[in-house]
Structures are given as structure tokens and as C-alpha cells.
Amino acid sequence: MSTELPAPRVTPAEAKVLQATAGADGRASAKLKAIGAGIPMPPMPLVTPVVVQLRGENGVCLGASYSSTSRNDERQFRASAD
């Protein structure tokens, strides 16, 4: 099953945390926490694999795939990238 959500523009009021960290061997990490009516959410729990992309206005795109989870229920999805 595949669900593609519209790409919202996250306003400063909706973005609560944006953390990007460079990693070894080309591996980076990014964390975005956002809240607001403009943030679409799929039905939970999510069906794996989950593919996430974070695209910047400058053309930078960070993406990851998650095929196994440590938490996946009606309230939260938590996983480490493959």
C-alpha cells in the first residue's frame, strides 16, 4: 500500500524542531517536528516500508526508507532508517 501526501510548506509557526546533522560515510540525519492544520497525516499505524523525504527550497533533498519499526501505533511512528 502506498500513500502519497501533499507536500506542505511548513511555516515557522508549524515547525517546532528542525535538526540536521552531518554523518560519517555520507550518512546524515534530519529530524523535523511540526504541528498544525497544514500538516497532513496518514492513517496510523503506518504500513511499512515507509519512505520519507524532506525537501528544501534550495533543492536539497534528504530521504530515508524504514522497513522495520520500534514503535508503530495509533499515536506514534518510530524507526531507524535501513
| In-domain check, residue 58 | yes
Range of the domain at 64: 15-78
| In-domain check, residue 3 | no
pTM above 0.95?
A: no
pLDDT digit string, tens, across residues 23-62: 777 677 777 777 777 777 789 999 999 998 877 778 878 7
Per the structure, the count of domains in the chain is 1
| In-domain check, residue 63 | yes
- DSSP string covering the chain, please? -------PPPPTTTEEEEEEE--GGG--EEEEEE-STTS----SSPPSSEEEEEE-TTS-EEEEEE-S-SEESSS-EE----
| In-domain check, residue 6 | no
pLDDT digit string, tens, across residues 8-30: 566 655 666 777 788 777 677 77
